[in-house]
Each structure stands twice: as C-alpha cells, then as structure tokens.
Structure 1
Amino acid sequence: MPVAPRLLQLSLLSTLLSTLLLPGLAQAAPVYAVKQLGTLGGGSGDVRAMNNGGAVVGYALNSDHISSAYVSRGGTMRSLSPDKGTSSVASGINEAGVAAGQVTDGGGVSRAVTFTGNKIETLGSLGGRDSLAKGINNAGQVAGSADRADGSQAAFRYTPGGQLRDLGTLGGASSLGSDINNSGVVVGRAELAAGNYHAFLEDGKGMSDLGTLGGNYSEANRINDSGAVTGFSYLAGDAIAHAFMFANGQMIDLDTLGGINSYGYGINSAGQAVGSSDIAGGMATHAFLYSGGEMLDLNTLVGPGFGWMLNYAADINDLGQITAHGCNTLGACSGFLLTLDSSSAVPEPGMPALMLLGAGVLLLAARRGQRVRAVRVR
C-alpha cells in the first residue's frame, strides 16, 4: 500500500533526525577506562573493597603461591603481610588506608586484624578459635565475625581501644558481620529461631531483620552512610537468588542481566550498586552496575579491545570508580580498577541538527496549514 505523502514526510524527517542526533544520545551509558591492579609475583587472587582514593584491597598469591592481603594503588600492588609464609586476606579499607581482614597461622587459626602500613594489629576474640574482619570505617571501627566459646559464630563490632562486642542474632545461634558505615551501623546475616538466615542491620540499639525477597535466606554485604544496603536474597521457593537494595524500609529486587541469579556486593553514597549476575542462557556470570533503576553489564561499558571478561564487581566508591575481577580466553585472571572516562559525557546535539529539526517541524506544520508559535528543543 502506498504511503500517504504526509506520513512519508514524517518518516523521512524521523530517519534524518535519527541519523544526526541519535549517535550522540547513544553514548549516554558510562564508559570506563580500565587498569589492572598488578600482582604479588604469583597467580590471581580476589578483589574485596576500595576507598574513595581508588585504593583496592583483597588477596593475591605471592611468589610462594600463598594468599597474601594486598593494597593496590595506581596499578602497583603491595603485600600487607610481612610474613610470606602466613596466609592473609584484606576485606575492607577506610579513607586513611587502614585495611581490615584476617591472618591465618600455620595451624589454620584465623584472627581478625587491621593492616596499617606493614603493621598488623590483632583485634581479639569472643572466646573461641577463629575470627575475621570484613569492613572498617573512618573511625577505625571494624565489623566481622568471631567464634564464641561454644563454637557458634557471632557478628561483632570493634572500636579502637576496646574489645569485640557480640551483636547477637535474630533468635538463632549464629550471625556474621559484613560491613560497617561511618555511623557505626553494622550489616550482615543472622540466624532466626527457625534456622534460616536473614540480612540484618545493627545500629547499637539492637539487631533489625531486613527480611527477604520471598525466600528463607538473605544476606547483606555492604552499607553506605545513608543506611542503604545491598546484598542478595532467595526468592520464593529458595531456588533463585537476586541482588537487592534495601532503603527506606523496603527491599528492592535488582533483577538480573537476563539469567537466573544475581548478587549485590558493593554500594556507594549515590545508591549505585555493583555485583555479579548470570546472563541469558546461563553460560556465564558478568559484573554489573545498578544505576538509575537499571542493571547494566559492565562488559558493555568498557572500550573495545579490552580482551577480558569481567565476571564480578566487588565495590564502587563515591567517585563512581569500580573494582572488578575478570579473566581472559587463555584462563588468566586479574583484578581491575574501572574509572569513568570523562570523554564519555553525552554530547549536546550540534547546531546544524537543531536548525534542521526546526526547519523540518516548520515545513510539516506549513504543509498541514497550521501556525507554529514556537519550537523548543530540550
């Protein structure tokens, strides 16, 4: 069927405007510059956390192929453990560069510690064998978990100069602390009387149950200074897990990148979250950025020719920098720092395109015998 002349004019104008304007608009998604974190002379390890200065902590294999806590700045990785024969992990870092984690001795006993330069401070215990530290705030308060004398595990808050404080549970036997914000609020997971675990928030006045997305298990991994939390929860039926964001008393399902499961690992002050998600087909797990109500695959936000597949993102800071882990087709894996490329800002439509837009609208209006009062382009 022939196209009506007026519809043809509209179609041609739409095509022309798309050609001129949409290439610029298509760059609205952020684009990241990527830098490798370096090595300690051995194989790949893990990325755990970062601060607003872009310092990343985690663990990597040293030249003796023993896991060692590290801090990476500017692509240079440095071991935080002076004893190469001792296994260690760093899981949190504050703005002063003090890291929190654990050191495991030759007998397999782990102790929660802080790393300040090459100085390691043991935080104590709750009467049992093992302890581990997960998060640290700018006041030096630490969150983690430790064994009690009876063998159960308890989330703790540590304040410098004090002792580990047992934060209790949600009615069951055990709990685990994952992070602490600058107000001293701790999040993690805690056992209920029924034996299930739920994400919790402990603000010094008691432990609050954050609920689930319908299943019997949830876990909080990070909290920002506004009290927004990210983690993951099982859906009804306990067969599928989704990343969540908890804010204003509500747990929000962040969905997936088209696959079945997703997990939230980090959150910044703007409420942007990062983590990992299955992709469609279930053949791989990709790192994601959740921003503006949408989950984005970080592999689509790095430049062409990167050559690595980012499989999870561990943390995001207030500048929008992201630390992630990826592997290449040869099986090599590495940690990375992603920094927003300033050249990726959305360009304004050019003046020729704006003039053409105005002219086209005037032409169509004239053809239709209409009076055009004004043309405004946003």
Structure 2
Amino acid sequence: MPVTPRLLQLGLLSVFLIPAAAQAAPLYSVKNLGSLGGDSGDVRAINNSGSVVGYSLNSNNISSAYVSRGGAMQSLSPDKSTRSFASGINDAGVAAGQVLTGSGESRAVTFSGGKIDTLGTLGGSNSAAKGINNAGQVGGSADRADGTQAAFRYTPGGQMRDLGTLGGDSSLGTDINDSGVVVGRSELANGQYHAFRADDSGMRDLGTLGGNYSEANRINDRGAVVGFSYLAGDANAHAFMYDNGVMTDLNTLGGANSVSYGINNAGHAVGSSDIAGGMAVHAFLYADGTMLDLNSLVGPGFGWTLNYAADINDLGQITAHGCNTTGLCRGFLLTPDDGVAKVSEPGTPAILALGAGMMLLGMRRARRVRALRQN
C-alpha cells in the first residue's frame, strides 16, 4: 500500500472573515484541551456544540479516546489499560472510533452515555469507525474474511455494508455525511489508489490532481469533499476540495505539501501544510480562495505552534493540534472572536495582544506530528 506524504490538514472558514475590503482575517480565542495525564494527544473531530474528540495518553501512557465538552476532558475508555481512539462525533454527542482487544485486534465502536457498542467486522479480524452522522450511521473500514479491507457503512439496528472498491482489492472509509455518503480511498484495478465517495448507487472515483494517489478525508452535508492528492510526477501532494464534479488544488502555505482534514457545511476547510523552507508544518484555514496560517491568527504570546487543524464546525470553531518549544503537544479549541485573542490554559485564562510572530517547528516535532496522524 502506498505511503502517504508528509502532509497535514487544511482549513476553510470564510463566513467568519471580516469583509474583503478590510483585508483582515478572523481572530481566535484559544482553549488548551489538556490531557488525560500523559504528555501527548491528538484531536480528530468537533461537532456543532463545540465538543471535541480524539485520543490522549493517560497516566499509564496508554492511548485513550476522549471527549472534551466545555473545556473538561473525559476518557471514553472503560479503564486505563484499554487502548481506544475516537475519530468522529455527531451533534447528539455520540462518538465513533475503535477499541483494541486484549489480543491486539481492533473493533469499530460507538461511545455514548458511558456505554461502548461494538459494531462488528465484515468477517475478518479488525474494524475501525471513522465518522458518524446525526442519524447514527457510521463510516469506516473493516477486514473481510479473505484478509482484504473494505470501506463500510453501518446503520443502527442493521449490519455493516461492504461498499466495495474501484476495481482493486481494498478500500478505506474515512467519513460519512448526513445523507449516508461515505468517502475515503480505494484501490483501482491498476494498483493506484484514488479518493472516492460512495452512496446507494455505488462508488465514484473522484480522480486526482495529476498523480497516481488521492485520498478523501471528510465530506460535508452538501457533498463537498476534502483530502489530498499527489501532483503529476508523484513527488508532492496538495490538499484538495472536490465539489460539483471538480477537484480544486488548494495549494500550500509556501512549502511542498499540504492536506485537508476537515470541512464544514459552509464549505470552509482546515488542514495542515509545509511552510516555505520546508522545515515545519503549520495548521491552516482555507477561505475565499486563500490559505491562511492559523498561527498568525492567535497572537504572538500563544507559546505553541499549531501544526495541523483536524476539523471545523458550522460555527467556525476549529480543533487543532500544537506543540511548544519543549516538545509538549496538546489539542486546542479555536473559537472566532471579534476582539482580543484569548488563550486559556486548563483553568488559567490569559488575554493576549494580537500578532503573527510564531516559532517554527523543528524536524523532530514534524516527524512526531506525522506519526500521530498516521494512527
């Protein structure tokens, strides 16, 4: 299976932009989401209530799925020894993800009201849930009995439905919208992998930006899709938005690669990009045809570098991941703010002046970010 490039997520949020004549971008109040006791964590999704899910290392140094509501992080795992991950959350607060069994197999699950429901597999050993819609339908991937992997759609009270492929052996599901459309990547008969969207009429190839590989990461309720694709020659990859049959290159923040991870119903996307010089990756927001570095919108006293943005909701809130100069990494919630950018550490608010001077990530931190996103 091909190796994904050094990429990160993209961001789009024009509804909160100050009118173009002012030539100004939105400012954000920032909330540090903290941790479950460990020294690192990840963010994956946000719903329209501002609840964030992802995973954090707990005090036993075990990855644990969490939900953060109102600034309070709560583990979704049954105990501190169970490895779990949350990747999606709907507006009712039901999360989707995976739990590792004692034998190391992965099971797609939903987390709701302190209860974990296992969704099963497609006959094989492993499954993982990635997205969940407001009807409770889940999109993800599962092993078949023959060892190949397939994207699935799960409907409550029913079974996993194998969504097939684009002609090859395997496919991977990454998200689902309120219409039940699943997106991800699929193998073609020639061994290439392309982004797809799958509904009741079948799986559609979304194409590429000229290269031999593309992958869809998120879909909104209008059917617009974001992800990344290699360019011609397969040396670099860029974030894309696919809408109305057209795949648009979202470009980068000056570096070689970018990837989009989230999109809201206004068509605003978020993600991450190499910056000029190639020594760091920064979170970005893509709005009105322009990619903005989120680090320039939170104030110079922030003290952290946002290296990828995972998702954006319909209120324009963004969940992002950042690291400080000591290598400590945390998830953050960014909320559009008309006045002074505010930064809240867990339990300690602070008001900061506006500005754009941010410290570049070193290569060591960039490698750490890539390792987190490959989980």
Query: Structure 1 length normalisation: TM-score?
Result: 0.84
Match of 2:196 in 1: 200
Aligned to 1:152: 148
Q: What is the aligned counterpart of 2:37 among 16, 36, 41? A: 41
Question: Distance in 1 between the 2:23 and 2:189 partners?
Answer: 51
What is the aligned partner in structure 1 of residue 318 from structure 2? 322
Tell me which moved more, 299-308 or 221-230: 299-308
Give deviations 1:227-270, integer Å, cap 9, x for gaps: 00000000000110000000010000000000000000000011
Equivalent residue for 1:349? none
Q: 1:302 matched to which residue of 2?
A: 298
Counterpart of 1:264 (choices 245, 260, 263) is 260
Tell which deviates more after alignment, 34-43 or 318-327.
34-43
Q: How does 1:1-378 map to 2 (within 5 A)?
A: 28-343=24-339
Aligned length: 322
- CA separation in 2, counterparts of 1:207 and 1:298? 34
Displacement, 1:55?
0.3
How far apart, CA to CA, are the structure 1 residues paired with 2:211 and 2:327?
35
1:327 touches 1:334 (CA, 8 Å); kept in 2? yes
Q: Counterpart of 1:29 in 2: which secondary structure?
A: coil
Q: Distance in 2 between matches of 1:72 and 1:38?
A: 9
Aligned to 1:15: none
Work out the CA distance in 2 between the residues paired with 1:156 and 1:221.
Answer: 15
- Partners of 2:326 and 2:22 lie apart in 1 by 32
Distance in 2 between residues matched to 1:46 and 1:243, nearest whole Å: 20
Q: Which moved more, 1:300-309 or 1:286-295?
A: 300-309
Question: Which stretches of structure 1, 4 residues or more, deviate above 4 A after TM superposition?
Answer: 24-27
How far apart in 2 are the matches of 1:182 and 1:117?
Answer: 21
Structure 2: how far apart are the matches of 1:273 and 1:25?
Answer: 22
Q: Give the letter aligned to residue 35 of structure 1.
A: K
Letter of the structure 1 residue corresponding to residue 28 of structure 2: Y
Q: Structure 2 CA distance, aligned partners of 1:114 and 1:148?
A: 20
Q: SS of the counterpart of 1:43?
A: strand
Q: Secondary structure at the match of 2:339?
A: helix
Shift of 1:27: 6.6
Paired position in structure 2 for 1:355: none
- Ranges in structure 2 where 5+ consecutive residues have no aligned partner: 1-19, 342-375
3-state SS, counterpart of residue 40 of structure 2: coil
Q: Partner letter of residue 228 of structure 2?
A: F
Secondary structure in 1 aligned to 2:77? coil
SS in structure 1 opposite 2:242? strand
Residue type of the alignment partner of 1:180? I
Structure 1 residues 322-363: Cα deviation after superposition (integer angstroms, max 9, x where no partner) = 000000111111000000003279xxxxxxxxxxxxxxxxxx
Gap runs ≥5 in structure 1: 1-23, 346-378
d(CA) in 2 for partners of 1:153 and 1:338?
A: 35
The one-letter amino acid of 1:167's match is L
1:25 Cα deviation (Å)? 6.7
Confirm or deny: 8 A CA contact 1:134 1:178 kept in the other structure: yes
What CA distance in whole angstroms lies between the structure 2 residues aligned with 1:222 and 1:344? 31
Take 1:255 and 1:73, find their aligned partners in 2: how far apart are those partners? 33
| Bigger proportion of residues as helix | 1
Structure 2 counterpart of 1:297, one-letter code: D
Cα pair 1:110 1:130 within 8 Å, conserved: yes
Deviation of 1:106 (Å): 2.0
User: What's the secondary structure of 1:121's corresponding residue?
Assistant: strand
Paired letter, 1:47: V
Maintained 8 Å contact 1:41/1:63: yes
Q: Verify the 8 A CA contact 1:256 1:278 in the aligned structure 2.
A: yes
Would the aligned equivalents of 1:322 and 1:339 in 2 still touch at CA under 8 Å?
Answer: yes
8 Å CA contact retained: 1:169, 1:192 = yes
Task: Give, as a single letter, the amino acid of the residue that structure 1 aligns with 2:29.
Answer: A
Query: What is the TM-score when the length of structure 2 is the normalising length?
Result: 0.84
The CA deviation at 1:107 is 1.1
Please list the CA deviations of residues 257-302 of structure 1 after superposition, one character each: whole Å capped at 9, or x if unmatched.
0000000000001111100000000010000000111000000011
Q: Which protein, 1 or 2, shows the higher relative CO under an 8 Å CA cutoff with sep ≥ 6?
A: 2
* TM-fit CA distance, 1:84: 1.4
Matched AA of 2:150: A
